[in-house]
Structure 1
């Protein structure tokens, strides 16, 4: 009986500590949300926590102004048009390449895979200038396409490495049974690899989405004012923080909400992908 009480108290203490850590971690996001619902004058004269005791301060006017700001709305859609293709292309191409590296025999497979893994150590900053020159020669510098291609190129090495290791852990007997039934490589990939590899693929999609959505460096270099995503637009607004706190706080919270929605929508698959292989 005493051991049960001690165990219950221990679990309760752990729960309290985790709840306190979660509240501390979420405090800036909660403060940003409250600030996005206050007027610029209120944000300049008092802290966001005053709205907890004076809920009359809260208003949706900032969001109405943000939606009427053509530059910010265009930046938001630019972020979507950049992030979605960059995520889908990396997931699709990496899945196909990872299957080939894991289960298809071809000359130079191991050497090519080592070369792909070696690309993981190449810093993004090293490639900015040469790739910018290449995109300039191709006539796509400053467009959304240039940002998408850069993210795809630098996202593929990690994606291939991650998925190849996961696919290699799939029992070989399943693939041999499918081949004995007359299935080709494409059917095996579609009917066996994809269903079993869905947790790892979903985890990769979440990582890639977050990386591209929150990126500012690549967009700042390759995108012009018409193709600039939300991070670049917010950075330009931050130069005049006091005058644009209403747009800045509202836009920043909008930029924060979308990745959270994506993460929680695929949380089940993300947990399965993270825990995959930990228990046999």
Structure 2
């Protein structure tokens, strides 16, 4: 028989739970405030933006207009930069996922000479900052004709995304029960079939989480794109930076452009939200 709890204890417990919910709700609203301000600013005319702050929309909803988005979407420079960003982000993400998955499986379950030393080398690459490689890689890309090309940016992002991908997936794949793999081998499954039919389905959450991280990192990058991307068709981050006027911010262009560049990563995140949460929880349990 469980001891009965007093009324005061029950009230304190419910109050504490309610206080936590209120605190989390207020924190979430405070965190979203800049995004809301950016959205409302993108829906105001340049004259309204110059005269007052975005919060004035609540007093005068007639200020809201979609003219900024209409002009932006008909701007060939912006649409070209958006396409360039997609052409850089998608291959960089897919290459990291494919190569990282194969390498993670090899380091986890295949025996080859110097496996542990090679893996230590991969882990050591995690501490190499991007800034250290900018000058030598620029010289290398200039010598082989990859400087200011989409392929050069993709290779750079892939190279710096692989150490973390291999480290993460190797640790995740290593937690798969050995008995499961041995049973598949007894049934006649080769390494390729074992990898595609057993390891990949079990590692789906971790791969999805890695894909989200890599996609967000490449999509929001400006440093690498500013140095290695084609200046005639730069990614969206560089294109928005170039829209800054000499004596002030071109808010009527920057606000809708920045919000559109933010929407696509949000869509990708919410599309794979379930896999992302599963990967994080699985990693926490393991």
- The answer to whether the superposition gives a TM-score over 0.5 is yes
Out of 55, 65, 88, which is 1:49 matched to? 55
Tell me the distance in 2 between the aligned counterparts of 1:222 and 1:167. Answer: 34
1:30 and 2:36 matched: yes
Alpha-carbon displacement from aligned partner over 1:98-124 (angstroms, at most 9, x marks no partner): 000000001111111111111111111
Out of 218, 222, 227, which is 2:224 matched to? 218
Tell me the distance in 2 between the aligned counterparts of 1:277 and 1:194. Answer: 16
Out of 160, 166, 172, which is 2:166 matched to? 160
Deviation at 1:240, TM superposition (A): 4.2
Deviation at 1:277, TM superposition (A): 3.9
Alpha-carbon displacement from aligned partner over 1:117-170 (angstroms, at most 9, x marks no partner): 111111111111111111111112101111110000000001100110000011
Q: Please provide the CA RMSD for this pair.
A: 1.2
Aligned to 1:94: 100
Aligned to 1:18: 24
Structure 2 residue runs without a partner (length 5+): 1-5
Alignment of 1:99-248 (within 5 A): 99-240=105-246, 242=248, 244-248=250-254
Structure 1 residue runs without a partner (length 5+): none
Aligned to 1:261: 267
Instruction: Classify the secondary structure of the residue corresponding to 1:262.
Output: helix
- Contact kept, 8 Å, 1:143 with 1:227, in 2: the verdict is no
Deviation at 1:227, TM superposition (A): 3.3
Residues 277, 207 of structure 1: alpha-carbon distance in 2 compared, 3 angstrom cutoff: closer
Instruction: Classify the secondary structure of the residue corresponding to 1:115.
Output: helix
Tell me the distance in 1 between the aligned counterparts of 2:155 and 2:55. Answer: 43
- Contact kept, 8 Å, 1:210 with 1:259, in 2: the verdict is yes
Tell me the distance in 2 between the aligned counterparts of 1:113 and 1:197. Answer: 19
Deviation at 1:97, TM superposition (A): 0.3
Alpha-carbon displacement from aligned partner over 1:169-218 (angstroms, at most 9, x marks no partner): 11111100000000000111111111110110000000000000000000
Q: TM-score, normalised by structure 2?
A: 0.95
Tell me the distance in 1 between the aligned counterparts of 2:52 and 2:186. Answer: 72
Instruction: Classify the secondary structure of the residue corresponding to 2:148.
Output: coil
Tell me the distance in 1 between the aligned counterparts of 2:107 and 2:285. Answer: 24
Residues 110, 9 of structure 1: alpha-carbon distance in 2 compared, 3 angstrom cutoff: same
Tell me the distance in 1 between the aligned counterparts of 2:103 and 2:249. Answer: 49
Q: TM-score, normalised by structure 1?
A: 0.97
Deviation at 1:257, TM superposition (A): 0.8
Tell me the distance in 2 between the aligned counterparts of 1:200 and 1:69. Answer: 38
Instruction: Classify the secondary structure of the residue corresponding to 1:238.
Output: coil
Moved more, 4-13 or 185-194: 4-13
